[in-house]
Structure 1
């Protein structure tokens, strides 16, 4: 048995029937909804409840994270979008034309995360434009978390429906 066969037995390339894929999907969305613009949600809720120094810490964390995000978008945004479009179009070709399940699974992970990145960039711009303190900041961050959770629920639902379709189709054919 060569190294190639051992790796493919260890890492099942049939992604939708692999438990690790579903664990990764759940952890990815759990982390995405917990870290709102790079700020843990417990920091947001404690600042909302208690205010004071916790509110100051929240505003500083949000200012740092949104500043970094917007700076990256302004300086390297075009190159990042071009590279991402290349990767996504290559995966799309592999997933649809060649029907490679691994590429399909990666698309179901990456496309919603790209949408989440755009939502985060939009929220960062709104915070920079003036919703950067007090209740306006809390409201914006909570809205972003709720929209992240909604996107995650839709993403998990669509992924699971497609995964079941693929598994049933392979079960019937194979």
Structure 2
């Protein structure tokens, strides 16, 4: 047996049975939940408890990141939408029509993150439009984070169910 087949026998290169995929999924959703529009959640928590410097930092970061997100959306929104639609539809076709497990995994990562991006743009628009600071900003961040966590839980659940189905199907077929 050669080195190449030994390595690929030891490390399963299929997405849903690969530990690295599940680690990446956990890190992705952990990061998405921790950074609310680029503001670390621990800073929001300290600001809610009355820490004056954390409140000032949170307000500044929120304003900076909201303007940045809206600028990206306004300047390249159409291009990003077109590219994302291309990649999502390609992954959908490759994954489910042609049966490529890697494309299924990419689709199950990208689709919910697209919803998080749209939610971030909407929240940034609310922050800029209403000039949210202080308690109103904390409330907007709480709502945004809750929605991101709901999207994340649904995404992880669907990905886990599909991954288990794929693993059971491939083990039954002897792949």
Which residue is 1:46 aligned to?
A: 46
**Is the alpha carbon distance of 1:171 and 1:2 closer, same or farther for their aligned partners in structure 2, counting shifts above 3 Å?**
closer
Q: How does 1:127-166 map to 2 (within 5 A)?
A: 127-166=127-166
- Consecutive unaligned residues of structure 2, counting only runs of 5 or more, are none
- Displacement, 1:143? 0.8
Alignment map for 1:1-174 (pairs within 5 Å): 12-174=12-174
- Deviations along 1:69-121, one digit per CA (max 9) or x if unpaired, are 00000001101111111111111110111100010011111111011101111
**Aligned partners of 2:129 and 2:2: how far apart in 1?**
58
Change (3 A) 1:84 1:2: farther
- Structure 1 length-normalised TM: 0.92
TM-score normalised by L of structure 2: 0.92
1:42-93 deviation per Cα after TM superposition (whole angstroms, max 9, x unaligned)? 0011111124232111110000001000000000110111111111111111
Check whether the contact 1:13–1:101 (CA below 8 A) recurs between aligned residues. no
Q: Is the 8 A contact 1:12 1:18 kept in 2?
A: yes
**Alignment RMSD, CA only?**
1.9
